[in-house]
């Protein structure tokens, strides 16, 4: 069971927005998961493990540029590769 593809280490803070300084494109080449307060979330737009928060869309609301409005939820955050 040799893993021929080396995965980059998951950063402490990661964002799905390509305009963010916390966006790491190499990480998104692989399937990642976020566990928040012992439950897996699939709608996380940004996370920070050390500060203990995730940002998720607030329903279907968008700002005037068409980007979803995000709310910050605090708790225990764990990122992993699937």
- Give per-residue pLDDT as tens, 53-80: 999 999 999 999 999 999 999 999 999 9
Query: pLDDT category, 3, cuts 50, 70, 90?
Result: low
Q: Is the pLDDT of residue 1 over 90?
A: no
Question: Would you state the pLDDT for residue 2?
Answer: 53
**Rounded CA gap, 45 and 58, in Å?**
11
**Rounded CA gap, 41 and 30, in Å?**
17
- Give per-residue pLDDT as tens, 8-60: 899 999 999 999 999 999 999 999 999 999 999 999 999 999 999 999 999 99
């Amino acid at each position: 069971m040799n893993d021929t593809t080396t995965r980059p280490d998951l950063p402490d803070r990661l964002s799905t927005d390509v305009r963010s300084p916390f966006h790491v494109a190499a990480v998104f080449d692989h399937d990642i998961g976020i566990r928040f307060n012992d439950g897996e979330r699939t709608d996380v737009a940004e996370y920070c493990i050390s500060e203990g928060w995730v940002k998720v869309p607030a329903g279907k609301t968008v700002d005037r540029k068409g980007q979803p409005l995000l709310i910050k939820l605090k708790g225990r955050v764990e990122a992993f590769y699937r």
